[in-house]
Amino acid sequence: MPLPKFDYLEPKTVQEAADLLAEHGEEARIFAGGTDLLVLMRERVIRPKYLIDIKGIEELCELSHDEEKGIKIGAAVTLNQLIESDVVRERFGALWNAANSIADPTLRNRATLVGNICNASPAADSAPALLIYDAEVEVASKRGERTIPVQEFFTGVKHTSLKRGEVVKAVRVPNPPRGARGDYLKWGRTRGEDLAVVGVAALAANSGKIVRVALSSVFKTPVRVFEVEKIFEKGGPTNERIDEAVSAVLNRISPISDVRGGKEYRMHMTEVLTRRALSKLLGVGGD
């Protein structure tokens, strides 16, 4: 079936994109890699009258690293560009692994990180990593600019705290604590090209005093489990703290049953993956 009809718009600046969004309101959609958008349009789930392609906006193509501020990922940066970055691979391991777990390399030549979070699927694979790294979302509209902590970005299934007329310019990810190691473990039905049954991002630093865990596909939004952090701050034998952390995670999530797995299976795999991720990062015997 052909795509429904629309006008294709090509702003050259963020200002122009914001003006177009203000002018066309709900009838317009930002078009980045199109890997979510075009699929939904073909299935007639959404029928925007205007597509605003942001890939021609130079400012949004920026992927940079700053020793003070961390990395900045422009809205037009593809997942493959992110994967090719040495800084991301070496210092933001959870994000790098997450990007590698999305779809397949061909799709990643088009799909963007910002598109992944704006689509706001509970299964968005990049989201747990952004949550544990305390990322921030830079947003512009005709009214001005603002920054949204990623913790406040996801508000429900396919819902974000973006307001009408707002376009995401970039995601900023501050440098993780010194010596931090991060990982993202994704459990799917197949090794590639499927959304997660559950995904677990974890980070450990400061000899196991700083530990963070966030998950995809097991709650109505991607979710960071802050209770885990308190458990590790207070110290004690690592194995016991991992057990407590696993319980805290299971208490926090509420997975649904769908084609990818039942609720019970999701609970079980969450336990397995959380334990596996933490055991590996904290250097103790896992399963």
Partner 1 sequence: MSRHKISFSVNGERYELEVEANQTLLRLLREDLGMTGTKCACERGDCGTCTVLLDGEPVKSCLVLAVEADGRGVTTIEGISKGGEITPLQRAFIEHGAVQCGFCTPAFIVAGEALLKRNPHPTEEEVKEAIGGILCRCTGYRQIIDAIMDASKKGEK
Ligand X SMILES: Cc1cc2nc3c(=O)[nH]c(=O)nc-3n(C[C@H](O)[C@H](O)[C@H](O)COP(=O)(O)OP(=O)(O)OC[C@H]3O[C@@H](n4cnc5c(N)ncnc54)[C@H](O)[C@@H]3O)c2cc1C
Which partner, ligand X, partner 1, none, binds residue 5 by CB below 5 to 8 Å per kind? partner 1
Q: Which does 1 bind (CB under 5 to 8 A by kind): ligand X, partner 1, none?
A: partner 1
Are 180 and 60 spatial neighbours (Cβ–Cβ below 8 Å)?
A: no
Q: What torsion, rounded to 10 degrees, do the Cα atoms 12, 14, 15, 21 define?
A: 100
Binding site for ligand X (CB under 6 A): 29-37, 39, 54, 75, 102-103, 107, 110-112, 114-116, 118-119, 123-125, 167-168, 193, 195
In the list partner 1, ligand X, none, the entry touching 106 (Cβ below 5 to 8 angstroms by class) is: partner 1
Binding residue (CB under 8 A) for partner 1 from 11, 34, 48, 165: 34
Binding at 271: pick from partner 1, ligand X, none (beta carbon under 5-8 Å per type): none
Q: Please, what is the minimum distance in Å from the beta carbon of residue 247 to ligand X? A: 27
Q: Give 178 or 190: the residue with its C-beta nearer to ligand X.
A: 190
Question: How far apart (Å, rounded) are the C-alpha atoms in residues 155 and 219?
Answer: 11
User: What phi, psi does 166 have (nearest 5°)?
Assistant: -95, 140
Binds partner 1 (CB under 8 A): choice among 149, 192, 262, 283? 192
Q: For partner 1, which residue of 13, 39, 207, 254 counts as binding (CB under 8 A)?
A: 39
Q: Is the separation of the CB atoms in 44 and 4 below 8 Å?
A: yes
Report the nearest approach of partner 1 to the CB of residue 83 (Å): 11
Give least dist CB 114 to ligand X, A.
Answer: 5
CB 239 within 8 A of CB 284: yes
How crowded is the C-beta side of 158, counted as CA atoms within 13 Å?
A: 5
- Residue 27 as a binder of partner 1 (CB under 8 A): the answer is no
Maximum CA pair distance of the chain?
61
Chosen residue from 106, 207, 251, 257 binding partner 1 by CB under 8 A: 106
Q: Is 104 in the site for partner 1 (CB under 8 A)?
A: yes
3-state secondary structure 136-169: EEEEEECCEEEEEEHHHCEEECCEECCCCCCEEE
Determine which residue in the list 103, 205, 256, 272 makes contact with partner 1, applying CB under 8 A: 103
Is residue 47 part of the contact set for partner 1 (CB under 8 A)? no
- Alpha-carbon distance of 111 to 95, in angstroms, equals 15
How many CB atoms are closer than 10 A to CB 170?
A: 26
Q: Should residue 109 be labelled a site residue for partner 1 when binding is judged by CB under 8 A? A: yes
